[in-house]
Amino acid sequence: QVQLVESGGGLVQPGGSLRLSCAASGSIFSINAMGWYRRAPGKQRELVAGLTSGGSTNYADSVKGRFTISRGSAKNTVYLQMNSLKPEDTAVYFCNAHIETSTVRGDYWGQGTQVTVSS
């Protein structure tokens, strides 16, 4: 069974920084892509940042230049460094990974971590 566990959310003042972490565990054969999504109150879930196994990244326009996605050395961990945070970044952030096990291939999600940007 595959699990994704996020950590690092919390309350931060505007202009501050947070670093989210997500670790994948279980019977994983390979991880093809990882990313971060968020869902703000009253809004649909949106892609924040994505990272392919080849190292290509993509970001939502609203976070370009402020957020950075990266992979850990163990390759089963993904980070989201969030700088210059704004109140509109307040949301539940979810880790996503496209994972292949010995029997299936599909998208897996973490449970979400709350990020609140407020003074």
pLDDT (tens place) for every residue of the chain, 119 residues total:
899 999 999 999 999 999 999 999 999 999 999 999 999 999 999 999 999 989 999 999 999 999 999 998 878 999 999 999 999 999 999 999 999 998 989 999 999 999 999 99
Q: Which helix (H) or strand (E) holds 82?
A: strand 77-82
Other residues' Cβ atoms within 10 Å of the Cβ of residue 85? 22
Report d(CA 18, CA 31) in Å as an integer: 25
Report d(CA 48, CA 18) in Å as an integer: 14
Contacts 24+ apart (CB under 8 A), 59-65: 62/88, 63/89
Report d(CA 86, CA 61) in Å as an integer: 14
